[in-house]
Amino acid sequence: KKTNSAKVDTSGRPGTRIEVSISKQKVTIYENGSVAMRMRAIVGSPSRPTPVMRDKISSIKFAPEWNPPKTILQRDIYPELERNPRFLYRGWTVYKGGKKINPRDVDWKTADLSNYRFVQDSGGINALGSIRFTMHNRESIFIHDTPFKASFGKEDRYASSGCIRVEQAGRMAAWMLRQDGQPKSTKEINALKKGPTKII
């Protein structure tokens, strides 16, 4: 927030902030020390926990593509390629040497996977959903939407690879833009979510 951001509340934290409770699997948004909204969250699984950290959100990316980090490539993408390379045929773009290639032309069982870059296209079942709240940290942790909304109805929501998935990403984006002096209506937010990709 451009104003009042330096003020702190009784907790000693900034009065205007987004706070993630890993243990409660919830997100609470504070404005000038008061709760502005709460929503459920999906946080890291026991094997890939969400780290305790403090960071700043630098931008909001609407209709984001997904560049899987190295850890997810090694743990998820590469093993899936060995089992079923056809998953790349829909919703993914593959690059080699900076050039886009056709994944059907590669023998993925023998290829050196480190020579390729995999990008999940925006829309559809993109892992980030329709909105990503960008942060910059060594753990590659950020907050994002998800296409799998039913998961928010579960009591146990320890299911991500470390990032935080939020139940109402559109409302959170609208609140952030309002704080930054760039208010958007629900209609405008929904239009941004549909693409093309845009960073604010």
Q: What is the largest CA-CA distance in the chain?
A: 60
pTM: 0.90
Tens-digit pLDDT profile for residues 53-85: 999 999 999 999 999 999 999 999 999 999 999
Query: Is the pLDDT confidence value at 125 over 80?
Result: yes
| Pairwise CA distance, residues 197 & 172, whole Å | 18
Tell me phi and psi for residue 115, to 5 degrees.
-85, 0
Query: Is the pLDDT confidence value at 2 over 90?
Result: no
Predicted pLDDT of residue 10 = 80
- What is the average pLDDT value for the chain, to the nearest integer? 94
Compute CA distances 111 → 82, 114, 119, whole Å: 10, 9, 17
